Structure 1
């Protein structure tokens, strides 16, 4: 997808599929919830076969969604991203310090009387996004190479820090504040397996596709012939994933509407604060629009697949902690679709000379 021109506006810069994506997402959510309500036992059948603790259909959708985006990444430009401390240092601080702390504060502030949902939200705050964020970044014309690096960085820290932060925010920190404590037992293999499946597989496939394609016919041919053909599958995978997610949990969502509203409020506040704060920080440290956009989406997104898997394994499929994780994509999908459009409109605040922008604003095929 191409970046919208300054004169043409957001709508003219998006393809037909991208321009009406909010409508397709809404239809997919409605279809999923309707299927979950209409077909008895559908949720249990969909979740019966699992990959890395996640329903196999969801895993398939995520892999189909991520592969085209990662096949578009120009891997020879990643070195320039890894040398950009203005991007890497803020990303680490936002994802592993600010994000979990903000979700902890919002969960206790807005759900003081609902400990199960509160714990579920805190787990969501610890699960930093390594999957769906790549498509939000691509739709918003963020820097693909930067997104690949930040997602990989998040995956490493997820393996190293998730359990430690879970222990801190659910046991240690509440104890210091005189609040109720909760335990969380997550194996390192659960986290590693999630990273290998949801990042390792599509990353390896995307990298090999580009390397072999460019070696065979060159970059010009690859980006003119291959990229346009595989590109739409990212959105097809997203829509399929949304349908399956909501089919799995449609009955739970519609059976507890007030609980859904209560859990949605801190999530909405979290997305708004994390995204706008990250975008402002990116601009303040001198990032261009593409990398500031990538910083914002990688900081605001969460790995709900991992959060749900951890909640199910620790507290059970019917627990409030699991329902809080399920509400996550219900809120995240429309919220981040809206922020994609905000990101396009924010481009005017990042006006820089073309020569200065070139190193970090690669043209999107």
Structure 2
């Protein structure tokens, strides 16, 4: 993991303070940035988000979809978690904690927006960071690549309907035109651009050149993320200063959701007899979020100053330490996992005893 990735929580925390401070010192600058819109799309933020998303998608090879059948158990479990359990469980957790238990401690006008942000976060399966998590669990790289490629392909057609359905169930008005524009702008177009760039690099200089390009542009992708966070907290500063517990309260359903979904994916893989090197990344893909896309969609749908934008940013804040804890659990429980009846029957005796 790169220096930026390893200390992402620290950088995000610094961005919170920097954004709040700059928002108070230079409110005119932030309002000018916020007003630079075309068809409800903020141009500076759109540029930053493209810088975030396209490098992530350069890693994805859609040709890997040919390998899906090799890992059908792990693929099935992860798809079930990502597209059936995770968005709906987050909608339930959002309603339970934000809409009910924590309601007295949150600004009433933003309650629905906070819930919407949590739903958007849960509806975007992890794309880029999962390659890091998979490597840390000694995961099967071909499974990870094929699962991410499949999730990205599904996201193109399912992201908007899932969000629309769950926001409708939560009695939140869905701006369908903005949602469709967001999907096109932040999923469809970046996927096309990334695949064209990927093909040109591979055809010209091969896999090594692609890895070199990724190493060069990855820091800029994370810098774009951090710059976006500074802007967001520049607009959110007054809310946070008035009620500093907001971030902690929003983190509660996100934490529960991560551990619930990763644990469920891990157990379902064990019951199905999938090997541990697939179950590990499956659990992490099931728990992780494509927070760059979630931030972009929340801003497009509800604006800079919305509770939805803030809720997705909390997901960024806790991403690294929480996912590293899941990696630790997966690695430490390997012996227990391989003692499962469905798994041990498929392993050679020497691999079980190791």
Per the TM alignment, residue 165 of structure 1 is displaced from its structure 2 partner at its CA by 2.7
Judging changes above 3 Å, is the alpha-carbon distance between structure 1 residues 209 and 335 closer, same or farther for their aligned structure 2 residues? Answer: same
CA distance in 1: counterparts of 2:125 and 2:240, whole angstroms = 21
Cross-structure match for 1:339:
322
CA distance in 1, matches of 2:212, 2:302: 43
1:116 is matched with which residue? 109
Q: How does 1:160-171 map to 2 (within 5 A)?
A: 160-170=161-171
Matches within 5 A, 1:1-365: 14-50=1-37, 53-81=40-68, 84-113=75-104, 115-128=108-121, 133-141=126-134, 143-170=144-171, 184-219=172-207, 221-254=208-241, 256=242, 258=243, 260-261=244-245, 263-286=246-269, 287-298=278-289, 303-312=294-303, 322=306, 324-349=307-332, 351=334
Question: Could you tell me how far 1:51 is from its partner in structure 2?
Answer: 5.8
After superposition, the Cα gap between the structure-2 partners of 1:33 and 1:330, relative to the gap in structure 1 and judged at 3 Å, is farther
Q: If the length of structure 1 is used for normalisation, what is the TM-score?
A: 0.75
What is the alpha-carbon distance in structure 2 between the residues aligned to residue 151 and residue 129 of structure 1? 14
1:288/1:350 contact within 8 Å kept: no
Gaps of 5+ in 2: 136-143, 270-277, 339-345, 348-354
SS at match of 2:173: coil
Post-superposition offset of 1:38: 0.6
Shift in Å at residue 193 of structure 1?
A: 0.6
CA distance change for structure 1 residues 50 and 78 in 2, over 3 Å: closer, same or farther? farther
Q: For the structure 1 residues 36 and 149, does the alpha-carbon distance in structure 2 shift closer, same or farther, using more than 3 Å as the test?
A: farther
- Residue in 2 that maps onto 1:175: none
Contact 2:52–2:225 (8 Å) recurs in 1: yes
Bigger drift between 196-205 and 300-309 goes to 300-309
List per-residue Cα deviations over 1:13-72 (Å, max 9, x = no partner).
x33333333332222222222211110322321111236735322222221111112112
Once residues 114 and 151 of structure 2 are traced to their aligned partners in structure 1, the CA distance between those partners, rounded to angstroms, is 23
Distance 1:103 1:299 in 2: 18
